[in-house]
Structure 1
Amino acid sequence: MTTSEQLFEKAKTLIPGGVNSPVRAFRAVGGSPVFIKSAKGPFLYDEDGKRYIELINSWGPMVLGHAFEPVEEAVREAIQHSFSFGAPTRKEVEMAELIVSIVPSVEKVRMVNSGTEATMAAIRLARGFTGRDKIIKFEGCYHGHGDSFLIAAGSGALTMGTPDSPGVTKATALDTLTAPYNDLQAVETLIDNNPNQIAALILEPVVGNMGCVLPEPGFLEGLRDLCTRHGVLLIFDEVMTGFRLAKGGAQERFGVTPDLTTMGKIIGGGMPVGAYGGRADIMNFVSPAGPVYQAGTLSGNPIAMSAGLAMLRHLNEHPEVYTRLEETGSKLAAGFKNGLDKVGLPYTINQIGSMFTMFMTDQPVTDFASAKTCDLPLFGRYFQAMLKRGVYLAPSQFESLFISTALTDELIDEVISANEDALREAL
C-alpha cells in the first residue's frame, strides 16, 4: 500500500469522504487520490516521492509554475511582519490600484478570501443595487458552493431550477433561473418572462467547470446587449480565466466589458484569496460606502496580498508570458489530437490559450448537455494510465486543464508521448 493510500484510509475516518473538496476523492476516475507533498516549477511530488508533470496548477492560479521565486521571496519578506492584522495595510491599496489598472471592467474592487466569497458577494451586491431578486446562471457553470449557484436545470432550458444539494431552500431555487450555455435565445426568453425581476446574469466567459467550453461568436456580445437593454447586471466569473487568458482576463480577450467581475486565487499568487470589482457606482453600494453588507477579518491578508502583487506585477511587466502560454497550449492540443488520430478514437478538443479539455466524445462540446455525451469509464481508464506515466491531469472529464509557463518544450513532448501510450492502454 502506498503512503497516499494509507493517508486516504486514515483521512476517511476523520474528514468527510477523506478530502476537503469533493473532486479530490478521485471518485470520477477510480482509485485513491494522490497526496501531494511538494511542488516546484512544472512538477508535483507525492508522499512517496514520485514526480508528476503538472497540468492543473492548483486549478488555474499557478500561471508561472509552482513556487515561482519572486512570489516566494515576497512571502518570506512579508511574513516577518506577522501573519494578519485585521486592519488596513498599504499592500491592499497597491493591489487594488494594480487590479483597477489591468482589468477593463474594474473601477473599484473589494478583497475577499476565495472565489466562492467573491461570487456570493457579487450576487448580493447586484440584488441590492437593482432592487431585484432573481439571477440567471448557466447549466454547467460553477461559481462556488453558495446556495444560489447549486441549482440544476429542469427538463428544459426555461424550467425553474430545483435544489441540487440538500440544504438549499426551494425559495432560493425559485430565484435562480438557468439556461444552456451558448443559448442566447433561452436567455432572452427568461428575461422576457420575468420582466424587471432579474438582478444579474452570471457566467464563466470561458467555462472551465464542465471542461473547457468556449463562447460561440456573438454570444458574449449578445449577453452584454440583453443585459444593458433590460437593466440586468452582467457578471463575469473570471476566477479561472482572469489574468490567464490575457492580462485583463477573458473580458480583454473578447472585448466585452461586464458590470462586475469576480477573481480568485491568482491575485494571491495561489494563496487563499479572491476579489470582486466593477463599475464605481455599483461598488459604492458596498458597506461602509453603501448599504450592502460584506465583511471579512482576513480580507486583504498581508501575506496573500504580497504574494499576489509579486505575481500580478510580473504578469503586467512581461507580456511574453501570454505568448508562451498560447504556444504551449496550442502545441499540447495539437499533440493530443495527433495521438487520438493514431489510435482511432473519436474525440473533441476545446482549447483557448493555456486552457483545454480533451472530451471523450465525437460531438462538438458547446454546453453541458453535449459535454455529458462523453465516455466517462474510458476517461477514468485514461486518467489512471496518464497518472501511472507521471502526468497529473484533472481527476474529472468535466474540468479544464491549466498550463503554466514552467512547462518546457521537452516536457511538452514527454506529455504528448505519454498521452498516446495512455490512450492505447485505456482502449
Structure 2
Amino acid sequence: MPRPTDASAALFERARAVTPGGVNSPVRAFNAVGGTPRFIRSAAGAWLTDADGNEYVDLICSWGPMLLGHAHPEVQARVAEAVARGTSYGTPTEPEVELAEEIVARTPVERVRFVSSGTEATMSAIRLARGFTGRDIVVKFAGCYHGHVDSLLASAGSGLATFAVPGTPGVPVSSTELTLVLPYNDRAAVDKVFAEYPDRIACLITEAAPGNMGVVPPEPGFNAFLSETCTRHGALFVSDEVMTGFRASKLGQWGLDGAVEGWRPDLMTFGKVMGGGFPAAAFGGRADVMSRLVPEGPVYQAGTLSGNPIATTAGLATLRLATDEVYDHIGVAADTIKTAVSDALSEAGVAHVVQATGTMFSVFFAEGQVRDFESASRTDASAYAAFFHAMLDAGVYLPPSAYEAWFLSAAHDDRAVQTVLDALPDAARAAAAAQA
C-alpha cells in the first residue's frame, strides 16, 4: 500500500503558490514519474525521513555530494566549529587554502578557484578558455549537462531530456550559435568539426563520464583522444567532473582513465562531493591558463560567497574522511545492488541495461548498450516510473527521472542494502506490467 503523504502534499501545495512548479530544481517536482514529491524533514546515514515520518533508503545522496552519508558526525562537528566562528567574511580564509591544496594534491590541476555552483564553474572555465586562446567556438556533446549556462543549454541531458523541452526558451540564438553539439563517443564527428573550424575552437567541454543522461561511460581511450585532439589544434580540453569528481573514484573519473593513460585536461570543473553537501564548486587547471584570471590576468571572474568558510570546511572534512576503505565499501554495495537490479528485471522479462563508472551507475529500461544521447533516449520512461513508485512505496528513494545516476554512500550498510534488495522483485514486476 502507498504510504501516507499528507504533509508532503500540503507542503507541495503551499510551495506551488510561491515557487514555480513548487520546487527549486526541476527534477524534484516528480513530473517525469508522476505523483507527489516527498518533502524531506531530516536525513541520517543512508536514510531520509519525509514530512510524514516515512523513512527511505536514499539512492541519490543529494545527487552525489553525500559520499559519507547524511549528517556524518565528524563533518557535522567541523561545520559546527566553523559556524561558531562566523558564516561569511568576504576575505581569504585558511579553509579555502587547505581545500585547494587537497584538490591540487588529488587531481592534475595546478591551481584552483572556488565558486558557488557547478554552473558557475563551467561558465567560468569557458570564459577562461576563450580568454586564453582568443577563440570563440565551444564544442560539447549531446546529452552532456554543464549547468544552465545559456551557451551550453543545447542537448543538455537530464533536465531537458526529462521534460522534452524543444529547444531552450529564453536563450537567444546569439548565445548558442558559437556552440557546436556532437554525438557522444563519436571520434569521427570530433575530427570533422576540428577540420572545419581549425582556428576558431576555444575549447571542447565534456562530462568526464556523462551522468546526466544516465551513466554513459566514455569508450576506452575516448577522453585521451579528446585531450590529444585539442592539444593538436591549440584548443583547451575542459573535463567537467562536477558529478564524477571524488565520486566515481578517489581521483574522480580522471583516476579511472587519465591517471592510467597518462593525459591531463587543460581545465577541470568540480562540485558536489568537494562541497560536502554545501553550495560549493571549483574550476582549475594548468598554472599558465589559470594565471589569466584576475587579479593576475585580464579574464574577469568573481563571487561574494566563493570559498565560503563553512562550505570549504565541510568539503575539506569530507575529502579527508574519504579513504580507500570508503570507496571500497561503496563499490561493494553498488555492485550488490547492480547485480540484484539486473537479476530482478531479467526475471520479470524487462528489457534493461545497467551501466556504471566507478561507484556511480544507472539503469536504462532499453535494449542494448547506451553509448550516446540518442540511445539513452530510447529508455522506457513509463516502465521506469512504475518501477520508481514501487520502490518508493517499499521505502527506497530512487532518482525521480529515468535519465539520472544512482549514488550510494559509506553509510549504506547491510540493512540499507537489504531494504533495496527486498523491494526489487515487486518493482520489477510493476515495470513489466507497465511495458505490457
TM score, norm. by length of structure 1: 0.95
CA contact (8 A) 2:253 2:358 kept: no
Hey, what's the Cα distance between the residues in 2 that align with 1:307 and 1:228?
Answer: 36
Hey, what's the Cα distance between the residues in 2 that align with 1:352 and 1:296?
Answer: 33
CA contact (8 A) 2:395 2:419 kept: no
Question: Does 2:387 correspond to 1:393?
Answer: no
CA contact (8 A) 1:182 1:216 kept: yes
Question: Does 2:49 correspond to 1:62?
Answer: no
CA contact (8 A) 2:274 2:315 kept: yes
Hey, what's the Cα distance between the residues in 2 that align with 1:221 and 1:110?
Answer: 25
**1:248 Cα offset (Å):** 1.6
* AA matched with 1:257: R
- 2:220 corresponding residue in structure 1: 217
Question: Does 2:411 correspond to 1:406?
Answer: yes
Question: Does 2:8 correspond to 1:4?
Answer: yes
- 2:297 corresponding residue in structure 1: 290
CA contact (8 A) 2:93 2:309 kept: yes
- 1:156 corresponding residue in structure 2: none
**1:6 Cα offset (Å):** 0.8
* AA matched with 2:328: T
- 1:311 corresponding residue in structure 2: 318
**1:333 Cα offset (Å):** 0.7
Give runs of aligned pairs for residues 95-134 of structure 1, distance below 5 A. 95-104=99-108, 106-134=109-137
CA contact (8 A) 2:57 2:419 kept: no
Hey, what's the Cα distance between the residues in 2 that align with 1:363 and 1:98?
Answer: 40
Q: Deviations over 1:233-264 (max 9, x none)?
A: 11111011001122221112112421111001
> Which one of 173, 176, 179 corresponds to residue 173 of structure 1?
176
* Structure 2 unpaired stretches of 5+: 157-164
> Which one of 257, 265, 279 corresponds to residue 258 of structure 1?
265
CA RMSD of aligned residues (A): 1.4
Hey, what's the Cα distance between the residues in 1 that align with 2:430 and 2:406?
Answer: 21
Hey, what's the Cα distance between the residues in 1 that align with 2:187 and 2:391?
Answer: 38
Name the % identity: 52
Give runs of aligned pairs for residues 254-403 of structure 1, distance below 5 A. 254-255=257-258, 256-315=263-322, 318-403=323-408
Question: Residue 79 of structure 1: SS of its match in structure 2?
Answer: helix
Hey, what's the Cα distance between the residues in 1 that align with 2:219 and 2:74?
Answer: 38
* AA matched with 2:389: Q
Question: Residue 402 of structure 1: SS of its match in structure 2?
Answer: coil
Question: Does 2:52 correspond to 1:48?
Answer: yes
Question: Residue 387 of structure 2: SS of its match in structure 1?
Answer: helix
Q: Which is worse superposed, 215-224 or 132-141? A: 215-224
**1:151 Cα offset (Å):** 1.4
- 1:158 corresponding residue in structure 2: none
> Which one of 7, 15, 27 corresponds to residue 19 of structure 2?
15
CA contact (8 A) 1:148 1:173 kept: yes
Hey, what's the Cα distance between the residues in 1 that align with 2:136 and 2:74?
Answer: 44
Hey, what's the Cα distance between the residues in 2 that align with 1:363 and 1:30?
Answer: 27
- 2:199 corresponding residue in structure 1: 196
> Which one of 34, 38, 43 corresponds to residue 39 of structure 1?
43
Q: Deviations over 1:76-99 (max 9, x none)?
A: 000111110011111111111111
Question: Residue 151 of structure 1: SS of its match in structure 2?
Answer: coil
TM score, norm. by length of structure 2: 0.93
* AA matched with 2:411: A
* Structure 1 unpaired stretches of 5+: 154-161
Hey, what's the Cα distance between the residues in 2 that align with 1:176 and 1:94?
Answer: 36
Hey, what's the Cα distance between the residues in 2 that align with 1:228 and 1:409?
Answer: 47
How many residues align structurally?
416
- 1:30 corresponding residue in structure 2: 34
- 2:159 corresponding residue in structure 1: none
**1:163 Cα offset (Å):** 8.8
